[in-house]
Structure 1
Amino acid sequence: MLSSSISPSPDRNSYDLTPDELKRLREKARFVRLETIRLIEIAKVGHYSSVFSAAEIFSSLYYDVMNIRAGEPQWADRDRFLMGKGHAAVGLFPILCEFGYISKDVLDNYTRLGSPLGDHPDMRKVPGIDFSSGSIGHALSAGAGMAWGGRAAKRAFTTFVMLGDGEMQEGQVWEAALFSAQHKLSNLIAIVDRNGFQLDGAVDDVIGIEPLGDKWRAFGWEVHEVDGHDLAALTPLLRRAKADLAREKPLCIVARTLKGKGVSYMETEPGWHLGYLAPEDAQRAVEEIMAREI
């Protein structure tokens, strides 16, 4: 059975990945990309590039860092995960299937009439979804409430919130950031998928958000910046962040990513925020993803 938890290797003094761990996480990021293509072929439209920028984040959290149990989506002490960028849910659903939260039959009927799986996640319908998202800007507020409530209930879970960089233009994000710092929610970790693009174009052309790390620091958060596709850097950072019981601040990781990562023509064309691959283009995408070294 699959499981995920945080602990350093007993024969090492750091949270660095072993070669086998790194290979496994890269394989899972590849799995996320391939399943995204397969599921969007069922739906006939979807958010490829938004998932591809976050594939390594999904892999690191679910297959290594988060404390969750296979087959137990409502386990009271599980780590929580919320997505501000709910349109990337198509990349999360295959992971929930691997953990036994949804069946393969449900996954394979993605977006079909009567399916609980839509373009955005619904916590009322999908086991393993901690927050219904899609209306950008609300997830950090909900995550802060979960972290605050967990602390009050003396539970040891960590709350992770993945945000899009376009989401940084929402005022509610910064209200939640202030609240979290005021209440020293050290059990709250935000991850900004800084892929540079939103639906209307380049994020910094729509409304500039830099210097992003300094903004979060000014709001009272501990901040780290990392290559969001480098699992050898991202995962140890997340491991340390979760294990740091002495921290008195919420923590933000600005993950520098590339929208459409893994498929060359998506990496250079922001229009793939939402679209559909013709069969020959889907085959080319699969071949590129498979050709990348694990």
Structure 2
Amino acid sequence: MSLSLTRIEELSGLCKKFRRQLIDILYSVQTGHPGGSLSCTEILALLFFEKMNIDPAHTNMEGRDRLILSKGHAAPMLYINMAHRGYFKLEDLDTLRQTGSHLQGHPCYHKTPGIELSTGSLGLGLSAGVGMALSDRLNRRNSHVYVLLGDGEIQEGIIWEAAMSAGKYKVDNLIAILDNNGVQLDGTIRDIMPLGDVQAKWSSFGWNVITADGHDIAALSDAFDLAVRHRGSPTIIIAGTVKGKGISFMEGKNQWHGKPVTQKEYRMAVEELSVQ
């Protein structure tokens, strides 16, 4: 079912709030990954506040949907969503990447409630997602496993081994989302390792492929609904996004994959975000 205009406005408002909070936190702690966090803001907000069947009070709830942040460097935006959803206290966000904090630089299953898989080494998330989805299917659970991938990450061979396996076993309760912002740590995807026709590649591995604007709440919501209804094969949503979305001097710049925010840059970012 398509979202109402009121709900779209509510979710858009959340995304604006989360982008501002991200910059506040990363400036405060002087560490973290702004670019990839800003590009997946709408994706994560939709999953946590609209699409996933989850209960923050019961993180091991039987039949829950699961999210794996395979592009684990986007942990700051993941934590913001989780805190606002009630997995832990909002004040914990101020401890990001600090000694003794449960909010490490990349998601940790053993420390943070609600994390389904420790990630950070790129490429691992999809394989684990295939296993989780197969387990849910064997146990007749009516649930889905969502795996958020980066487009630099899908240069990893392990991704395609997992894709081949998921296609063979027709794991239709597995939904991957590609944060397709075209930029990775050292430069653009085109310059570092071109991906070619990404849609055709995933389709050739037996996947149902859906494309959407990754910053358009309505279009992205419809894509998730189509993916959930699909039967007979795994689905990937190729979400077109912008690295550093919402802050002009960060947009499309690989330098902002992971870089401390200076006082001047912080002021500029806050000014831009406040008028959006």
State the TM-score, normalized to the length of structure 2. 0.96
Cα pair 2:211 2:223 within 8 Å, conserved:
no
Of the three residues 210, 224, 242, the one matched with 1:258 is 242
Task: State the partner residue of 2:273.
Answer: 289
User: 1:238-282: CA deviations, max 9, x gaps?
Assistant: 02322x1x5110001111111111001111432111111122321
Q: Which moved further from structure 2: 261-270 or 176-185?
A: 261-270
User: 1:109-130: CA deviations, max 9, x gaps?
Assistant: 2222100111100011000111
Task: State the partner residue of 1:233.
Answer: 219
Task: State the partner residue of 1:186.
Answer: 172
Residues in 1 aligned to 2:178 and 2:256: alpha-carbon distance in whole angstroms: 20
Partner SS, residue 113 of structure 2: coil
Partner SS, residue 252 of structure 1: strand
Aligned sequence identity (%): 39
- After superposition, residues 189-268 of structure 1 pair within 5 angstroms as 189-242=175-228, 244=229, 247-268=231-252
Of the three residues 45, 57, 63, the one matched with 1:77 is 63
Partner SS, residue 249 of structure 2: helix
Of the three residues 27, 30, 52, the one matched with 1:44 is 30
Residues in 2 aligned to 1:56 and 1:181: alpha-carbon distance in whole angstroms: 27
User: 1:168-222: CA deviations, max 9, x gaps?
Assistant: 1101000000110111100000000010011111112111112000000000000
Partner SS, residue 162 of structure 1: strand
Task: State the partner residue of 1:123.
Answer: 109
Cα pair 1:72 1:101 within 8 Å, conserved:
no
Q: Which runs of 5+ in 2 are unaligned?
A: none
Partner SS, residue 254 of structure 1: strand
Whether 1:106 and 2:98 are equivalent positions in the alignment is no
Cα pair 2:148 2:178 within 8 Å, conserved:
yes
Whether 1:164 and 2:150 are equivalent positions in the alignment is yes
Residues in 2 aligned to 1:181 and 1:239: alpha-carbon distance in whole angstroms: 20
Residues in 1 aligned to 2:225 and 2:274: alpha-carbon distance in whole angstroms: 28
Residues in 1 aligned to 2:56 and 2:35: alpha-carbon distance in whole angstroms: 28
Residues in 2 aligned to 1:110 and 1:169: alpha-carbon distance in whole angstroms: 28
Q: Which runs of 5+ in 1 are unaligned?
A: 1-14
Task: State the partner residue of 2:141.
Answer: 155
> What's the C-alpha RMSD, in Å, of the aligned pairs?
1.2
* Counterpart residue type for residue 151 of structure 1: R
Q: Which moved further from structure 2: 253-262 or 277-286?
A: 277-286
Residues in 2 aligned to 1:92 and 1:254: alpha-carbon distance in whole angstroms: 19
User: 1:65-91: CA deviations, max 9, x gaps?
Assistant: 111124222212211000111000001
Cα pair 2:29 2:94 within 8 Å, conserved:
no
Partner SS, residue 82 of structure 1: strand
Whether 1:176 and 2:139 are equivalent positions in the alignment is no
Of the three residues 35, 45, 61, the one matched with 1:59 is 45
Task: State the partner residue of 1:20.
Answer: 6
State the TM-score, normalized to the length of structure 1. 0.91
Task: State the partner residue of 2:129.
Answer: 143
* Counterpart residue type for residue 134 of structure 2: W
Task: State the partner residue of 1:278.
Answer: 262
Task: State the partner residue of 2:15.
Answer: 29
Partner SS, residue 110 of structure 2: coil
